[in-house]
Chains A and B, each alone.
Chain A
């Protein structure tokens, strides 16, 4: 199972994650990501990794973990 998580102390509302992973991430009224569930659908794992790598604040974590 792959999960996606935000480190809120790092996130600066750049918003790139939402552009790269719109299926999973929208932005709130202040520009911070709203993640639609922690678990990432296998089809979206590649895009999720890209979004995490693109985050200028290194605030997005994509982790493979056991159930």
Chain B
């Protein structure tokens, strides 16, 4: 395992030989010379090859939804299309995308070129909202000659603004908000053309896959999901920071200690689980147990701290991040956050019923994933942290010092 502290204070770890983060521990940022020495020139493949290879290695999108990349490629029509690389990392707990863009920008560019070539396009947009990633990608793009068709765009901050459909609407001049009708990027994307749109990490994997071929790509990881993943580990974990790990490893190996402690999987649209049990880093299996990996955030509060303090804090923040377009989200999330706060302050069973009713009123009634994701965070906290809520209902508090591991924008650590 290698550990470094990069200038943004995000610690980077790898388990086994790093791939996406190859060279990062030694160099900090991998410039063009080192990138070519490590990975060679990008290997451009035909569409049929890429579609088959992404299916063979079961490459799943890394933005949160975990949609199969092969299906996304196959859904692209022929004709004039473009590629959208979403680096608008809007999950406050996640650092993996900006770490990738700021330390291995050429791998992201390679992946975008691989996808564009396979789709017969040279039209690439990379959407980013943090300054360091933007500068790193701009510099990388200037370092090489094959990026004439690449446009790097700054996008605004905000949880909902970073969702891919918001990014597309924003790029098309309509404001960074999701639309009311569920229109998919491969039908109507950037510049009203079909877009192959995915998260930055997905593109870095496309570059590796194209370079290595299926057999070598699949030398690490599990049989159901070959390759590696970037995760952001927070709180009482082996090594907090961004980590590259082979798929399939037991999550307990990343979070040694506390065998029976609540863990947040997936981020602020994610799921609280009572304990890690035998869970492994397997997107399909995690989804099947109701705790999808989402944006790749795994957080565990320290033993002896009050987790409910953090649940209340994040619930309030989620409510404040509603874009205000859809009533059930705009009114429902603040009401739910109030319910959570009241329960943490010792309210009893009546309030729990009101919360349960409101959960059902918010879920599925919005234009984007924000209401559903927020409800997932809140309702999983209620079920996984039952002991804590019970202690608070009985005594008004658990007497432990507040947990303070989940980051929020604006410096609330």
A and B interact physically: yes
With known contacts A28-B361, A29-B361, A32-B365, A7–B180 Cβ distance under 8 A: yes
Considering the complex, which residues of chain A in the window 25-64 have a beta carbon less than 8 Å from any beta carbon of chain B? 28-32, 34, 59
Q: Is the CB of B326 within 8 A of A28?
A: no
With known contacts A13-B327, A30-B328, A30-B332, A8–B365 Cβ distance under 8 A: yes
Considering the complex, which residues of chain B in the window 358-403 have a beta carbon less than 8 Å from any beta carbon of chain A? 358, 361, 365-367
Interface residues on chain B, number (Cβ under 8 Å): 18
Bound Cα distance A7, B328 (Å) = 12
Q: Give the interface size bracket for A toward B.
A: 10 to 19
Q: Is the CB of B367 within 8 A of A8?
A: yes
B250 CB, min distance to chain A CBs, angstroms: 40
Number of A-B residue pairs, CB cutoff 8 Å, is: 41
A interface, CB within 8 angstroms of B: 6-13, 28-32, 34, 59
Q: Does B325 contact A (CB under 8 A)?
A: yes
Q: Does B181 contact A (CB under 8 A)?
A: yes
Closest to B332 in A: A30
Chain B residue numbers with a CB within 8 Å of A12 are 327
Closest to A9 in B: B180
Q: Is the CB of A8 within 8 A of B327?
A: yes
A9, A29, A31: the one within 8 Å of B367 (CB): A9
**What 0/1 pattern do residues 148 to 178 of B give for CB contact below 8 A with A?**
0000000000000000000000000000011
With known contacts A30-B331, A30-B332, A8–B361 Cβ distance under 8 A: no
Bound Cα distance A11, B367 (Å) = 11
B115 CB, min distance to chain A CBs, angstroms: 30
Q: Does B179 contact A (CB under 8 A)?
A: yes
Closest to A32 in B: B327
With known contacts A28-B361, A29-B361, A32-B365, A9–B325 Cβ distance under 8 A: yes
Chain A residue numbers with a CB within 8 Å of B358 are 29
Bound Cα distance A13, B332 (Å) = 13
Closest to A35 in B: B365
